[in-house]
Amino acid sequence: LPGEFRSRVNAKKDQYTRALMDILAEVERTHGPAHVNRRIATYTLFGMMNWIYNWYDPLGDLSVEVLSQSTCRLFLGGYVGMPVSDAVLPHMTTG
């Protein structure tokens, strides 16, 4: 996108990003600290939501309710809610 249009789109993306990061901060205040970097969680959720159009068929066997509830449960609770120790994960830096 050229100049002004790119600036407007980027401003809107920044607004959405800040809003979700604020929501996640509130979730942490209410339910305890997260075990994942908030910025990573923000962009992971955006990625999950932005990919849905590729596979979801509103006329198919999954209702919008099942889709939204499953997405919320997966994002907020993890796939099986299993704690993962640092010893299991490969050594990574957080920088």
Query: In the block, which residue shows the tokens 């809003």?
Result: 19
Structural domains for the chain: 3-77 (1.10.357.10)
Digit-coded pLDDT (tens) for 34-86: 888 999 999 999 999 999 999 999 999 999 999 999 999 899 888 767 666 66
pLDDT of residue 90: 63
pLDDT value of residue 39:
95
Nearest to 34 by CA among 42, 93, 15: 42
Place of tokens 């796939």: 79
State mean pLDDT over 22-41.
Answer: 91
Closest by CA to 44, choosing from 71, 67, 65, 68, is 71
